[in-house]
Chain A
Amino acid sequence: MSQDFLDPEIFADFIIEAKEHLETIEPNLLELENNPDNLDILNEIFRPMHSLKGASGFLGLNIINGLAHKAENVLDELRKGEIGVTSEIMDVILLATDDLRRLIDNLHESGSEGEVDTSIVIDRIEAIMAGETPEPEIAVESADEVEPEPEVEGTEPVLDSVEYFEEHELSEVEMVQEPNSPESSDRKQSYQFVAIVNTEEEPYKLTTVGEGHLADFLEEAHEIIENLTRGLLELEQDPEGDEELINDIFRYFHNLKGNSGIIGFRELNSLTHEAETLLNKVRKGEAKATHIMIDLLLAVVDGIESLIAHVTPSTGEVQPLDIAQLVDPLQDAVERGEVLPVHGNSAEDEEQPEQAEAEVEEDAESGVAEDGLDPEDVAIFEQTVRQQLDNISLALTTLDEDSSQKDYIDGLFRSLVSIQNSAGYMGFDDLKEYGERTAGLVDQARITDMDFGMMLDLLRQECGIIEEMIDAAVAELKGGDGDSDSNQEAEVKVAPKVEEAPAPKPVAKPAPKVEAKPAPKVEAKPAPKVEAKPAPKVEAKPAPKVEDKSAPKVEAKPSPKPKAAPAPAKPVATSALKPAGGAPAPKANKPKAMTTIRVDHQKLDHLMNLIGELIISRGRYTMLARGLEEGHLEVPVVAQQLTETTYALSRISDDLQDTIMKVRMVAVQTVFSRFPRLVRDLSRKSNKRVELITEGEDTELDKSVVEEIGDPLVHLIRNSVDHGLEPEEERLANGKTPEGHVWLRAYHKGNSVAIEVEDDGRGIDPEKMRNIAVKKGVISADEARNLDDREAIELIFAPGFSSAEKVTDISGRGVGMDVVRNNIKDLKGSVHITSEVGKGSKFTLTLPLTLAIIDALMVQVNGANYAIPLDAVSETTKIEAERLTEVNNRKVVTLRGEVLGIAELAELLEQPVSDPNRDVLPVVIIHDNVRRLGLVVDKLLERQEIVIKPLGQFLNRFDLRGVSGATIMGDGSVVLILDPHEVYSMATVKGSLQS
């Protein structure tokens, strides 16, 4: 929800950075797999993952944050050497990066994280952290599906897991504690379980009959945990509702209790026993399933999970954990018949999340940045909130002048929400709550359309307070002396809000608020200062948890630790605000993520210079014009100066164009970097050993092109690995190396860039292609006969065509290649295949350097002008009509010993041919890769640089083959740009259809 209100700029920055992080992570992961001992690489992975976690938390992106956090944990374990690098772990981390990428893509496209199920990955990560073998079956299974003979590869996973076990035994004992996924769930839980190893107790052995027994137990336990989590979440939707559901949950606990009893797992047994007892009461109707109870039960599930994670599968030993933190509230609940909110009294204070404790203690004592907050986060926090504060003050000033400026109101709201999120992440709950409240105030005013002028005074005060709180918060984060002071201040400042909080609802009366504020400030200050340190958080907690919103706040005020309050209070607050804000707000604020580009500063300077020159030229024109008007300049002089100035101007505009193009250029590296991973996965899935060789990664292309070629290349590489490369035995039988090769190359070719995907596999058999195409009804048998080998191979691009005899989960569904061609066509590029049976195939994509400006040859047909991209023109010539002959219903001419097909451009464009009986035909010879075609036109015009304009969505609905876009001439007229590739295929289709 919160990302709806993010500042679009920060949001866009985040997306860019996140993508960059993922891009650094992935290649390094692959590298790490080859050099498992290289700590540097590991650090290279850890750092971006950490940053990603930090930034996402900042923006309130819970799913990303949770996942990144998990991944970071694993990496940290690896870094500490507590677990070893195995390909299973790599798999899981790669999966995690996949999910992250998907989430970020969703963010980019739709502005929200979208629905990506990260639980599988998280579960696997947890399993790894717990020291379990992370289901190597997956790899083996899919391998089985694809190839029946996994002899060689098949042994690998086994080896891995053995190795894994060994390393793992060593590490298990040292694994002391890990917070058990508190962040991974995006729900705000009031009960949390923190795995604290009970050091007083020695690890003990479970009474299992062999390892198989234990494994069964663990497996079943995991299953139960899954079921429980699902059941509880379902129950939460409708706590009163389903009796059946409660029974189910009861049974799960019961089963687990039984199982743990059998193997003598004491902690688990007693924990499940308590949970079971509580649920039994619910079942009998003696207690009610409240949200708080579900929270508690979920914490219990976390606890169970953690307990199980501390079982060493190989030895059957278990590391006892402190479960009193869960057992006590459970017993308490059983006694009372209801679960109380998280309390500060009696034993229950133990169930405070440990982080909170740590936080609070450190606040009060040392003032050192809280754990988990590194200086980087702090810097980002400060920067963000400061920026938001600037925005706020700007918005307020503007609104002061004109209170009807909706944009600024929205901006104000966004800034407040940003502050809220940032503060929430940094653990400044008071600040967060305050920001949220003020944002809520703005939101309501926004929705009710009230006059904002009335609220400005109020808001200015509110924002002033926020600013002070931020100052205090930053000071606290930075450490330094007197921070506990400022800390107190920050907290005390919260006080006023307490009274205002109920007030904003009727919104329109600023007067009382003004009075209210100064008073508590003064009063409250001295008191807490004294009390703050000795009185621990314990007292603060009870009040806020109560459901009612306004009442507890007042009580909370004098207590020194409102800090703890916001977390539980938050659901209440949001639910109160949201319905009001509901529908209209998110719509208005949906951040359409911007795409940005990073520019070398020097290039910008250069652009600036050019603009300067441009302005000078403009001045010169004005001067010349005045000279003419006033008549003090001779016409010939003016003419000469005009020419000079025009030259200067064209030099400037050329330079401008060049520089802008350079700014837009990015290396194809950014796309290529994702393929080693792809090939690795494909190779594992298909059980073929494949080596990917990339060349020319630093070749630059327009950013818009680079962004679009990823998918087509994925298709091509998949195709090469899956269909192109033969299985190992076949390769050996054909005298090839057992390992298949796929080359990915980029290089400049004239005014365009070529990207090749080549494999040394079995190649494409044109005869086979013809047969399949006929069989699938793509073409008729007659047509098939008429195709030459090259055209037959190109059938691979026909929609619905798939030559694979069986569909694998990688490719072969016949949707890939035509999509490839269409995508490339959209980029004004073309695809071309060469293939030799038994030797391999090569797909060449030819792409324009940039999409915006091209060189073109202008021709005239039937009174209208057309532009043909010069890249595709090999020559222009004139041919006497009598030299034309007909072969196979196609007009051809022999030109310098080469037979060249000739077509009337007018005919292809379904226009009347203006003069069918000419003696001399102007011909443009175009080439589509190596194939050439002569186009007869009415008139050859000049060559020109043109700016490509899209024809637009409306015209794209129609089948306008042969036309790829339009351009605007100097005189303002529109000229259509032809697509040589399509023109060529139209000519050949015409030829073969007529036959």
Chain B
Amino acid sequence: MEEDEIKLDAELIQLVTFSIAEEEFGVDILAVQEIIRTMDITKVPRAPVFVEGVINLRGKVIPIVDLRSKFGLETREHDQSTRIIVIEITDMIIGFVVDSVSEVLRIPANTIEPPPPVVSGLESEYISGVGKLEDRLLILLDLNRLLSDDEQEQLAQV
């Protein structure tokens, strides 16, 4: 029993944290391929609103998803601190637009709690957990669910 706890204590997870509309989020660093500054985005006609368009990432065309509009928040112009987090999920490479990227954090796995039903208006289905830091909360995003959700939406439309 004691051993277990010690082991859990030792288990640190590394997260890339970023902020969207005053809220701080984290994703597993292993999923993050790179973080790039925003660039010219080619709009894709007839795509859902949260798809901002496509960019050229070293010869590869990758789609860009605006997390603000995905979360139903007000969109805003890109600025100096806007970043695109390029993430590889289930063989897809997708760029997510965030307001800013803060830091890389190591937090013990046992400080992460299951998500409460509603976190700051964001539906908890996208959230895999909430990490408690000393002075604030960190929302851990479940990117897989975030994307598979689109599919269902799409199906519902058809």
Binding site for B on A (CB under 8 A): 864, 909-911, 949-955, 957-963, 966, 968, 972-976
Contact = CB atoms under 8 A, between A and B. Distances in A.
A596 B56 CA distance: 29
Contacts of A864: 42-43
B136 interface: no
17 contacts: A911-B45, A950-B61, A952-B62, A952-B63, A952-B93, A954-B63, A954-B94, A955-B44, A955-B47, A958-B51, A960-B47, A961-B46, A966-B61, A973-B40, A974-B54, A974-B55, A976-B44
B154 interface: yes
A957 B63 contact: no
Interface string B17-56: 0000000000000000000000010111111100101111
Nearest to B53: A974
Given A958-B51, A959-B154, A974-B54, A951 B45 contact: no
Interface of B: 40, 42-48, 51, 53-56, 59-63, 91-94, 147, 150-151, 154, 157-158
Contact of B45 (A950, A962, A972): A962
Specify which of B42, B43, B45, B56 lies most central, judged by the most chain A CB atoms within 10 Å of its CB.
Answer: B45
B79 to A, nearest CB: 21
Given A864-B42, A973-B40, A976-B44, A954 B92 contact: yes
B46 A955 contact: no
A954 B147 contact: yes
A838 B6 CA distance: 83
A778 to B, nearest CB: 15
Contacts of B61: 949-952, 966, 968, 974
A904 to B, nearest CB: 13
A962 B46 contact: yes
A973 B42 CA distance: 8
Contacts of B55: 974
A974 B56 contact: yes
Given A911-B45, A949-B60, A968-B59, A957 B51 contact: no
Contacts of B93: 952
Given A961-B46, A974-B42, A975-B42, A955 B63 contact: yes
B46 A960 contact: yes
Contacts of A952: 61-63, 92-93
Contacts of B48: 958
A114 B2 CA distance: 47
Contact of A976 (B42, B60, B62, B157): B42
Contacts of A951: 44, 54, 61, 63
A156 to B, nearest CB: 49
A974 B40 CA distance: 9
Nearest to A911: B45
B33 to A, nearest CB: 14
A424 B92 CA distance: 42
Nearest to A975: B42
B42 A953 contact: no
Contacts of B56: 968, 972-974
Contacts of B92: 952-954
B102 to A, nearest CB: 26
Contacts of A973: 40, 42, 56
A950 B51 CA distance: 16
Q: Which 8 A-B residue pairings sit nearest by Cβ, starting from the closest?
A: A909-B45, A974-B42, A966-B61, A949-B61, A954-B92, A968-B56, A953-B92, A974-B56
Contacts of B46: 909-910, 958-963
A957 B55 CA distance: 18
Contact of B54 (A958, A962, A966): A966
Contact of B47 (A949, A950, A958, A972): A958
A631 to B, nearest CB: 35
Contacts of A972: 56
A957 to B, nearest CB: 5
A953 B40 contact: no
A972 B39 CA distance: 11
Contacts of B40: 973
A81 B63 CA distance: 65
A958 B154 contact: yes
A966 B42 contact: yes
B39 to A, nearest CB: 9
A168 to B, nearest CB: 56
A911 B47 CA distance: 11
A476 B133 CA distance: 72
Contacts of B151: 957
Given A950-B61, A968-B59, 18 more contacts: A864-B43, A951-B61, A953-B91, A955-B44, A955-B47, A957-B150, A957-B151, A959-B157, A959-B158, A960-B46, A960-B47, A961-B46, A962-B45, A966-B61, A973-B40, A974-B53, A974-B61, A976-B54
B16 to A, nearest CB: 20
A625 B147 CA distance: 48
Contacts of A961: 46
A974 B56 CA distance: 6
Nearest to A950: B61
A926 to B, nearest CB: 17
Contacts of B51: 955, 958
Contacts of A960: 44-47
B94 to A, nearest CB: 6
Contacts of A954: 63, 92, 94, 147
